[in-house]
């Protein structure tokens, strides 16, 4: 918590926030400047969500807010009060991997792995949006997730597989 | 990064009052410009941030031939609207060519209109010379790296680009901004909403402090109108425009009856091109006419070495989209 809790003119700079993350509610008191990304990583210790550029350019921090993919680095935690947030830690079902996680492993959809949680969260949303109809469509609607290792061909293959359009493993 | 008071507005009137009465208060909508410039770049330093994202300004509704778009509708929501797809297809094209899905889920239509420039010199407080950030301090961009900068409405005072794709189509459509102030409401056409920088680049639009953009009214294109948006950029996706063009034409027997033309990626404001429209109106569809319209659209440019290529690029972008939308019309 920042040592400064008031503005220069005496207004509180802290906020009470209830974050519903991966199905469980957490009540937090935060500095108003804390982003959703920093609340997840530094306060809730959910470090699966990655901080890449921290400026809305790379997609590594992608999470779902009320089911829609957003960038947690440009979202204030205060804005998410009462909202449902899903992170990479919340994808597994009955202790098993989510089908998109499974497909990324089978297609080797990563190299260093840093962008992978963001890629997977974005891909999960992409499938829900119905935008995995072709390689071209996947490339267009995954373009907000940068992979500096260049694993794009395998990422696209993993998403096509998860969409049920490609049985190849 | 200065600390600020965060307030979630309960209704439009209290939101407007909270900001109007406080010179150091800002609105917060989707945050993709505001949070970036505040927390990451240190360019904006509000003492109070009024979150308007839960105000009831999100609906998209049709009244006759006018589509009213709530200022808090997201870019994804507007792109998915059925009326937009059927009657304003180039709005959808411009939206889906913008940003990424993540950003489009966050960014609002009001915020898109009010987005700040991507000029790196504006966004870096360590750069002393920026007339937009520090009036009277000069412009680092005119002698700097200026590939992503403006050539229309530009001068030695400022070449910062208005990078919106959506607004290019909106100014072509004569969309109207609905504005709520502390005392009164008013309507301003978007073609008169943005202010060319001149010697005051810090003044970007007609909004007074505390006035809230509540909706945009868009008159639907008549059935049969041929419209299109073309964006030319350094990457195939997820990149700002080097040049773009939005056009809407009605054609009778090979003759252009009505034309709407606007350019993006090249203007300090979303750039309506009435000179190009005048060339097109009443003229036959054809390459010579398109080139003459393009010459007219970009005739009064201000370039620096980094942006000189954009004069020809903008012309070719406009010619290309005119060719595309008129295909099969002769």
Closest to B36 (Cα-Cα) out of A116, A115, A102, A56: A56
Q: In which domain, by residue range, is B22 found?
A: 1-54
The contacts of residue A153 (CB under 8 Å, 6+ apart) are none
Tell how many helices (H) and how many strands (E) occur in chain A.
5, 5
With beta carbons less than 8 A apart as the criterion, state whether A108 and A154 touch.
yes
Interface residue B40 vs chain A (CB under 8 A)? yes
More confident residue, A8 or B217: B217
Give a yes or no: residue B94 inside a domain: no
Of all residues in chain A, the percent with pLDDT exceeding 90 is 88
CATH at residue B35:
3.30.43.10
CA distance B104 to chain A (A): 8
Contact criterion met (CB < 8 Å) for A79 and B103: no
Res. A45 pLDDT band, cuts 50 70 90:
very high
**The pairing of beta strand A84-86 with beta strand A14-21:** parallel
Give a yes or no: residue B29 inside a domain: yes
pLDDT of residue A169: 37
Give the nearest partner residue to B237 out of A12, A13, A143, using CB atoms: A143
The domains located in chain A, with CATH, are: 14-90 (3.10.20.30), 99-162 (1.10.150.120)
Task: Extract the tokens encoding A139.
Answer: 């490339």
End-to-end, the C-alpha distance of chain A in Å comes to 47
Give a yes or no: residue B173 inside a domain: no
Question: What is the mean pLDDT of each successive set of 10 residues along chain B, which is 330 residues long?
Answer: 93 98 97 94 95 98 98 98 98 98 98 97 97 98 97 98 98 98 96 98 98 98 97 97 98 97 98 98 98 97 98 98 93
CA distance A74 to chain B (A): 6
Residue A3 has pLDDT above 60, yes or no: no
Residue A7 has pLDDT above 90, yes or no: no
Give the nearest partner residue to B106 out of A55, A70, A141, using CB atoms: A70
pLDDT of residue A165: 56
Of the residues B54, B72, B92, the one at which a domain ends: B54
Rounded Cα–Cα distance for residues B93 and B152 (Å): 23
pLDDT of residue A167: 42
pLDDT of residue A89: 97
Say what the pTM is.
Answer: 0.96
List, for residues B66-92, the tens digit of each pLDDT value: 999 999 999 999 999 999 999 999 999
CA distance A125 to chain B (A): 10
How many Cβ atoms are within 10 Å of A168's Cβ, its own excluded?
A: 8
Rounded Cα–Cα distance for residues B274 and B279 (Å): 9
Give a yes or no: residue B45 inside a domain: yes
pLDDT of residue A95: 86
List, for residues B28-60, the tens digit of each pLDDT value: 999 999 999 999 999 999 999 999 999 999 999
Give a yes or no: residue B312 inside a domain: yes
Domain count, chain B: 2
Closest to B209 (Cα-Cα) out of B70, B80, B26: B26
Give a yes or no: residue B76 inside a domain: no
- The secondary structure of chain A in percent helix, strand, coil, rounded to multiples of 5, reads 35, 20, 45
pLDDT of residue B2: 85
Residue A2 has pLDDT above 80, yes or no: no
Give a yes or no: residue B290 inside a domain: yes
Give the nearest partner residue to B31 out of A12, A74, A140, using CB atoms: A74
With beta carbons less than 8 A apart as the criterion, state whether B152 and B159 touch.
no
Give a yes or no: residue B138 inside a domain: no
CB burial class (10 A; 0-12, 13-18, 19+) of residue A167?
exposed
């Amino acid at each position: 918590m920042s040592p400064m809790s008031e503005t220069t003119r005496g207004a509180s700079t802290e906020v009470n926030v209830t974050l519903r993350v991966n199905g469980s509610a957490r009540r937090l008191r935060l500095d108003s400047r804390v982003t959703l990304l920093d609340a997840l990583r530094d306060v809730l210790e959910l470090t699966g969500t990655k901080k890449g550029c921290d400026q809305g350019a790379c997609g590594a921090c992608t999470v779902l807010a009320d089911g829609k993919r957003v960038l947690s680095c440009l979202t204030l935690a205060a804005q998410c009060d009462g909202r449902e947030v899903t992170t990479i830690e919340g994808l597994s079902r009955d202790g098993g991997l989510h089908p998109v996680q499974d497909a990324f492993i089978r297609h080797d959809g990563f190299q260093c792995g840093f962008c992978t949680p963001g890629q997977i969260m974005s891909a999960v949303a992409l499938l829900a949006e119905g935008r995995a109809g072709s390689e071209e469509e996947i490339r267009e609607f995954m373009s907000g997730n940068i992979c500096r290792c260049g694993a794009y061909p395998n990422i696209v293959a993993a998403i096509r597989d998860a969409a049920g359009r490609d049985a190849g493993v | 990064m200065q600390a600020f008071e965060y307030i979630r507005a309960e209704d439009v009137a209290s939101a407007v009052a909270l900001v109007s009465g406080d010179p150091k208060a800002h609105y917060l909508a989707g945050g993709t410009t505001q949070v970036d410039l505040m927390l990451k770049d240190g360019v904006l330093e509000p003492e109070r941030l009024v979150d308007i994202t839960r105000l009831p300004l999100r609906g998209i509704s049709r009244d006759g031939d006018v589509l009213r778009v709530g200022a808090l509708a997201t870019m994804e929501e507007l792109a998915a609207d059925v009326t937009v797809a059927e009657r304003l297809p180039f709005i959808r094209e411009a939206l889906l060519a913008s940003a990424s899905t993540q950003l489009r889920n966050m960014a609002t239509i009001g915020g898109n209109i009010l987005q700040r420039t991507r000029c790196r010199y504006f966004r870096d407080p360590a750069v002393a010379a920026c007339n937009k950030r520090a009036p009277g301090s000069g412009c680092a961009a005119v002698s700097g790296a200026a590939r992503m900068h403006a050539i229309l409405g530009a001068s030695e005072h400022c070449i910062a680009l208005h990078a919106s794709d959506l607004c290019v189509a909106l100014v072509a459509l004569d969309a109207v901004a609905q504005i709520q102030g502390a005392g009164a409401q008013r309507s301003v056409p978007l073609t008169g909403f943005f202010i060319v920088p001149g010697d005051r680049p810090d003044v970007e639009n007609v909004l007074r402090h505390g006035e809230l953009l509540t909706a945009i009214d868009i008159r639907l294109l008549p059935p049969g109108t041929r419209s299109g948006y073309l964006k030319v950029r350094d990457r195939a996706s997820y990149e700002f425009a080097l040049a773009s063009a939005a056009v809407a034409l009605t054609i009778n027997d090979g003759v252009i009856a009505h034309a709407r033309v606007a350019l993006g990626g090249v203007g300090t404001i979303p750039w309506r091109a009435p000179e190009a429209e005048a060339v097109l109106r009443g003229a036959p569809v054809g390459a010579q006419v398109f080139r003459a319209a393009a010459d007219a659209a970009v005739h009064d440019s201000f370039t620096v070495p980094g942006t000189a290529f954009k004069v020809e690029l903008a012309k070719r972008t406009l010619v290309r989209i005119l060719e595309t939308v008129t295909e099969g019309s002769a």
